[in-house]
RNA sequence: GAGGGUGUAGCUCAGUUAGGCAGAGCAACGGAUUUUUAAUCCGUAGGUCGAGGGUUCGAUCCCCUCCGCCCUCACCA
């Protein structure tokens, strides 16, 4: 049965409205006041005639009068419908209203005898009749699956959820303003790419009919943003979606939003200052002192972020250097990490993630990664086995990396080739070398620092949500057949 | 991909100790109620107990298979 046909009683009320000559799906309802303003500026507005529009959240009919809570984007206010004020005909129409319906109402703003700020309704319009019941008013929607599948219901029935997504929007707005103030240009680069470059991740494949070509949804915008550096956009960034055809868990959604940013004539140390400042600024916008709870921890963003060296941290955590492969493999086995088929550096990195990263709660930069894991990064002058790259870890989560960008086209080409050699056949089907990117580098890319920040994870930290699905409006779920 | 948990009314959840007519609260429906605050009072209705199969006189309960979701792990630059 279609959900639209399932609520007979609601349809009966809808028909009753139509019989009374009322369009149950009304139109424009202008000149409303935000409900929060009614309560914030009550002293000024008391006694005035006000108009509001919103959804009926609670309806308490009492025979010849009723109290109805109307909620808009800003808050909720009580409306009082009275037979003697509205007359038989209008009151009959009012009797067809119920929770979930969207109405516009106009009347005098006063307090009731019990002190509740209330609109004594003189006129009202039915703006949208809800044919389905809203969830129970006290518990709301609890079932996580239903909440994600029916986010629209989750949003109107939970202030907390609405607040979380409002914060998400503000965080992104604040990042944009921060970067605009520093001369960064926001751009959009292709989501559909014929070469899925910029990260070693499995892409989604799609097909363009008119051109008859397979395309990949991008796994990263990196190679396009660097082309823009070549083009002369010296400070450039993109906040947009990436798509990775990999597992789903509390920190991963197949599509996720990242900030990727490039600054010409800088390097990864500039990115460190920038990243730390952006994140601290955001934290201070949602807290008084830069300290925010996250799960069982409190993260302090006001203090300078810690910096640790990749190889030193490895040795400290494990008691032997990362170069001692026999011991590294023993340790991997001990931790029951499957490293079969992995090269040396990746084996080390798996152990590193488990023994170092997972334990890093306070914001920490892990500095100077193995060059073999960072093919787009400039090797360190002092030691070509190390790359000028850091990863920022907060609450055990990878928040983002930054590089001193490799701008030598020949070295870049060699690293691409090496990477291809290391791939198995299945991986290689997704991979080919982006020749045009190498051509762009050959035209000369300014030395630059590049930064990536996972926006979803940042929002998790700022809103104290430990599951990424809580900060993505419509996380990917298997389609249900209802 | 592996292991564990879970799925019962629109929503939130009990329950079937050990197989024997399917439960509550809220929401809904009918009635009363002109200042309520999760309104109250009286009454009514509401179910493929996730799906399919098996065992059984009888299955929501036991067994098998499948599906969704959650957790842990694995995968994931």
Q: What is the mean pLDDT of residues A295-304?
A: 92
- The pLDDT value recorded for residue A372 is 84
Structure tokens at A226: 């660097």
* Closest among A388, A397, A344, A395 to A367, alpha carbons compared: A388
- Strand duo A102-111 + A185-186: pairing: unpaired
Q: For residue A117, say whether its CB is under 7 Å from any atom of strand B.
A: no
CA distance A396 to A366: 12
Structure tokens at A258: 């990242």
Q: For residue A306, say whether its CB is under 7 Å from any atom of strand B.
A: no
Give the CA-to-C1' distance from A96 to B35 in angstroms. 21
**Cβ A301 vs Cβ A277: under 8 Å:** no
Q: For residue A364, say whether its CB is under 7 Å from any atom of strand B.
A: no
**Cβ A101 vs Cβ A129: under 8 Å:** yes
Q: For residue A423, say whether its CB is under 7 Å from any atom of strand B.
A: no
Q: List protein-proximal bases of chain B (any atom < 7 A from a CB).
A: 1, 10-13, 25-29, 32-39, 67-77
Structure tokens at A376: 């787009």
* ipTM, two decimals: 0.85
Nucleotide of closest approach to A338 (CA, C1'): B74
* Closest among A171, A54, A50, A202 to A463, alpha carbons compared: A171
How many residues are present in chain A?
482
Task: Label residue A100 left, alpha or beta by phi (over 0 means left) and psi (-120 to 50 means alpha).
Answer: left
pLDDT at A4 over 50: no
Give the CA-to-C1' distance from A471 to B27 in angstroms. 29
CA distance A106 to A104: 7
- The pLDDT value recorded for residue A2 is 37
CA distance A406 to A374: 10
For the stretch A115-172, pLDDT in tens is: 999 999 999 999 999 998 898 888 888 888 889 988 999 999 999 999 999 999 999 9
Q: What is the mean pLDDT of residues A407-435?
A: 77
- The pLDDT value recorded for residue A429 is 54
Nucleotide of closest approach to A3 (CA, C1'): B10
pLDDT at A481 over 80: no
Q: For residue A209, say whether its CB is under 7 Å from any atom of strand B.
A: no
- The pLDDT value recorded for residue A339 is 77
Model pTM score: 0.91
Angle between helices A222-231 and A435-442 (to 10 degrees): 30
pLDDT at A6 over 70: no
For the stretch A288-297, pLDDT in tens is: 999 999 988 8
pLDDT at A27 over 50: yes
Which one of A88-92, A182-186, A319-323, A471-475 scores highest in mean pLDDT?
Answer: A182-186
pLDDT at A5 over 50: no
CA distance A170 to A158: 19
């Amino acid at each position: 049965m279609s959900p639209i046909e399932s609520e007979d009683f609601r349809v009966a009320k809808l028909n009753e409205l139509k019989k009374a000559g009322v369009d149950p799906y009304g139109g424009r309802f202008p000149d409303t006041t935000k409900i929060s303003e009614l309560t914030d500026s009550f002293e000024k507005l008391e006694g005035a005639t006000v108009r509001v529009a919103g959804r009926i959240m609670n309806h308490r009919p009492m025979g010849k009068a009723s109290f109805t809570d109307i909620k808009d984007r800003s808050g909720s206010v009580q409306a009082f419908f009275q037979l003697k004020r509205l007359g038989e005909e209008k009151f009959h129409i009012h009797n067809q209203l119920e929770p979930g319906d969207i109405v516009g109402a106009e009347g005098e703003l006063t307090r009731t005898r019990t002190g509740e700020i209330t609109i004594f309704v003189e006129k009202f319009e039915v703006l949208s009749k809800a044919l389905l019941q809203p969830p129970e008013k006290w518990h709301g929607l609890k079932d996580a699956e239903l909440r994600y599948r029916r986010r629209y219901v989750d949003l109107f029935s939970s202030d907390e959820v609405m607040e979380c997504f409002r914060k998400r929007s503000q965080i992104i707005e604040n990042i944009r303003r921060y970067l605009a103030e520093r001369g960064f240009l926001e751009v959009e680069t292709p989501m559909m790419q014929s070469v899925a470059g910029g990260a070693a991740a499995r892409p989604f494949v799609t097909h363009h009919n008119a051109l008859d070509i397979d395309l990949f949804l991008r796994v990263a915008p990196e190679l396009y943003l660097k082309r823009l550096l070549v083009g002369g956009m010296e400070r450039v960034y993109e906040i947009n979606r990436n798509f990775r055809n990999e597992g789903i868990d509390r920190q991963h959604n197949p599509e996720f939003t990242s900030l990727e940013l490039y600054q010409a004539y800088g390097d990864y140390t500039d990115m460190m200052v920038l990243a730390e400042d952006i994140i601290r600024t955001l934290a201070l916008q949602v807290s008084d002192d830069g300290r925010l709870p996250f799960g069982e921890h409190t993260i302090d963003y006001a203090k300078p972020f810690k910096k640790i060296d990749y190889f030193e941290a490895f040795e400290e955590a494990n008691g032997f250097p990362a170069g001692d492969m026999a011991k590294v493999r023993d340790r991997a086995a001990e931790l029951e990490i499957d490293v079969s088929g992995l090269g040396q550096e990746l084996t080390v990195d798996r152990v590193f993630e488990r023994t170092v990263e997972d334990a890093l709660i306070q914001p920490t930069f892990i500095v100077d990664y193995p060059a073999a894991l960072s093919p787009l990064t400039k090797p360190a002058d002092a030691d070509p086995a190390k790359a000028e790259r850091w990863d920022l870890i907060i609450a055990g989560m990878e928040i983002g990396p930054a590089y001193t960008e490799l701008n030598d086209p020949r070295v870049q080409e060699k690293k691409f080739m090496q990477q291809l050699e290391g791939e198995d056949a299945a991986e290689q089907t997704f991979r080919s070398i982006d020749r045009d990117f190498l051509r762009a580098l050959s035209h000369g890319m300014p030395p630059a620092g590049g930064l990536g920040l996972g926006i979803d994870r940042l929002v998790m930290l700022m809103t104290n949500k430990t599951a990424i699905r809580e900060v993505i409006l419509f996380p990917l779920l298997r389609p249900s057949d209802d």
